[in-house]
Chain A
Amino acid sequence: MEELISKKDLLIETNISYGQLYRWKRKKLIPEEWFMKKSTYTGHETFFPREKILERVHQILNMKEGASLDDLADKFSSDLPEELERKKEELLSLGVLSREILSLYEEIFKGKEIYNFQDILYMYISEELLSKGDLSVEDLSRILKMLSEHYEVIKDKDPALTVYRRFGVTTALLHKAGEIFVADQVPLVKDYSIRNALEKLKLKLI
C-alpha cells in the first residue's frame, strides 16, 4: 500500500497555497487521480500518493523560473508526444539512449534514420531492462513484441511489467499492480512501471 499524505499536510510541508494547488490541477500538472477523497473522523479529506505528489510539487517549484505552466503541463501530461521524431545523433547527444542500444536497434530497423516516439520508448525500456541484468536479448525482443502489440494498453491503463522465467522460458505479464498473483515463481523483472519510463523519457526528450 503506498503511503498517503493529506492535503493539509501537503500544503504545510511544501509551503504552497490552495490557489497554487488548484491552478496546477487545472493545468493538468497534477493528475486528477492523485486527488483521493476519503472519509475520516473529521469528515471528508483529500489524500495524495505521498512520494509522487512531493516529487511533482518540487519539480514544479524548481522549474517555475522561465518555463510557463503550459510548457510544464506538456511534460507531465499523460498525453504522449506521439508526433515527436528524433534522429540517432539527436538521441545520442540528448543522452537518452546509449550507443549500444541504438546499434542493436539499427540491426532490426535496417536503414532507419529517424525514430518516432514509440520506437524511442521501446529502445528506452530495453535499455532500462537490460541494465537490470538477467534478461537476454531474445527475452527482450519477445517482451518488446508484446509491448508493441499492446501499445493502447500502455497508453490508457498505466500497467506495470513483470517477467518470469521457468525452465528457460520467459513469460512477461502486463498488469495493474496487485491484480495478478503467481506464487510458484520468482519474477525476473517485477512491477516495472511503464508510466515512470514514459515520464522520465518525456522529461529527457522535450
Chain B
Amino acid sequence: MELRDLKISGSSVLTGGAYRDVKVSGASKITSDITCETMSISGAITVDGHVDAKSCKVSGACKVKGSVRAAEIKISGGSSIQGSLEGERISLAGGIKVDGGIKSALLKLSGEISVGEDMECEEFYLQGAIKAQGAVNCEKCALKVAGRSEIGELVGAEIEVREGYKNSTGFLKNLFGGSRGSLNVSLIEGDDIYLENTTCEMVRGDRVVLGPGCKIEKVEYREKLEVHKEAKVGEKVAL
C-alpha cells in the first residue's frame, strides 16, 4: 500500500500510524506511535508515543512522550523527549532534556543538555553544559564544557575535556554566568585522557594528562602521567 504524507499546520489532534513524509507545525497533538520516512515537527507539538523514522527533525518546544529512533535525529530549541534517542547521527542544540538514554554513532550536543540515563556513542562532541546522570561510554569524546557540567561516569578510548568558551564574551558568557566551565564526574576510565577543570574521584588510564583546574582524588595510570602545575591530585598510582 502506498503510504500517505501527513502535512498539517495549526492546531489539531492527529492519530499516529504509518506515513511517508510527516510535517506538522503549530500546536498539534499526535496521539499515538508514528512510523514514517521523514518526520519534521516544529512549534509546540506533543507526540504521545514513539517515533520511528529515517530522519527526524524537531524544533521549537515540542514534547515526545516516547522514544525516537531514526538514522538522523536533529532536535533544537527547548524540546523534551521522555524516552530515549537512538540513531546513527544525532545532534541536539538548545535546552534539550532527554529522560532516557542516547545511543548513536555520532553525537553532537550544544547548549544546555540534560540526559537521564546512559549514553553510548562512537564519537561524542559537546559544546556547552551537560547534566548526564548515567555513564557515558564512547570511543572518542571531545567535550568543551561550559557552566557546571556533571556526568556520572565517563569511559571509553579517547577522552578529552576542555574548558569551553574560554575567550568568548557577550551572549554565551551571559548564558553560562560568566564562570569558567567545569565538569564534575565520579569516574573516568580510558586509554588516552586529557582533562581541564575537571573534578573527579578516580581517573584510570594508560596515558593521562591532567591540565589546569583539575581536582582529582586518585589517578591510576599505566604508561604516562602528566600533571599541570595548576592541577590538584591526591594520590598517584603507577600500575
* A18-B155 CB under 8 A given contacts A12-B239, A23-B139: yes
Q: Is B150 an interface residue (CB 8 A)?
A: no
CB neighbours of A23 from chain B (8 A): 139, 156-157
Q: Is A168 an interface residue (CB 8 A)?
A: no
The answer to whether B206 and A18 have CB atoms under 8 Å apart is: yes
Given A18-B157, A43-B201, 8 more A-B residue pairs with CB atoms under 8 Å apart are A8-B220, A18-B155, A19-B139, A20-B157, A23-B139, A25-B137, A26-B139, A44-B187
C-alpha spacing A113/B181, complex, angstroms: 66
The answer to whether A19 and B190 have CB atoms under 8 Å apart is: yes
The interface size bin for chain B is 20 to 34
The answer to whether A19 and B187 have CB atoms under 8 Å apart is: no
Docked complex: B179-219 residues within 8 A CB-CB of A? 186-187, 189-191, 201-202, 204-206, 218
Docked complex: A12-32 residues within 8 A CB-CB of B? 12, 17-20, 22-23, 25-26
The answer to whether A22 and B157 have CB atoms under 8 Å apart is: yes
CB neighbours of B155 from chain A (8 A): 18, 22
C-alpha spacing A145/B239, complex, angstroms: 54
Q: Is B120 an interface residue (CB 8 A)?
A: yes
C-alpha spacing A19/B189, complex, angstroms: 8
The answer to whether B120 and A26 have CB atoms under 8 Å apart is: yes
* 30 A-B pairs whose Cβ atoms sit less than 8 Å apart in the complex: A8-B204, A8-B220, A8-B239, A12-B239, A17-B157, A17-B191, A18-B157, A18-B190, A18-B191, A18-B204, A18-B205, A19-B157, A19-B190, A19-B191, A20-B157, A22-B155, A22-B156, A22-B157, A22-B189, A22-B190, A23-B156, A25-B137, A26-B120, A26-B122, A26-B137, A26-B139, A43-B202, A43-B218, A44-B186, A44-B187
The interface size bin for chain A is 10 to 19
If over half of A's interface residues share one DSSP class (helix, strand or loop), that class is named, otherwise mixed; here it is helix
List residues of chain B with CB under 8 Å of any chain A CB.
120, 122, 137, 139, 155-158, 186-187, 189-191, 201-202, 204-206, 218, 220, 239
A-B contact count (CB 8 A): 42
Q: How does the 8 Å CB contact mask read for A92-121 relative to B, with 1 for contact and 0 for none?
A: 000000000000000000000000000000
Q: How does the 8 Å CB contact mask read for A53-80 relative to B, with 1 for contact and 0 for none?
A: 0000000000000000000000000000
If over half of B's interface residues share one DSSP class (helix, strand or loop), that class is named, otherwise mixed; here it is strand
The answer to whether A18 and B156 have CB atoms under 8 Å apart is: yes
List residues of chain A with CB under 8 Å of any chain B CB.
8, 12, 17-20, 22-23, 25-26, 43-44
The answer to whether B239 and A19 have CB atoms under 8 Å apart is: no
The answer to whether B137 and A22 have CB atoms under 8 Å apart is: yes
Q: How far is the CB of B180 from chain A (nearest CB, A)?
A: 27
Closest A residue to B205 using CB positions: A18
CB neighbours of A8 from chain B (8 A): 204, 220, 239
C-alpha spacing A22/B189, complex, angstroms: 9
A19, A26, A44: the one contacting B158 at CB < 8 Å is A19
CB neighbours of A12 from chain B (8 A): 239
Q: For A17, A19, A26, which residue has the most chain B Cβ atoms within 10 angstroms?
A: A19
CB neighbours of A17 from chain B (8 A): 157, 191, 206
CB neighbours of B158 from chain A (8 A): 19
C-alpha spacing A70/B156, complex, angstroms: 18
C-alpha spacing A23/B139, complex, angstroms: 7
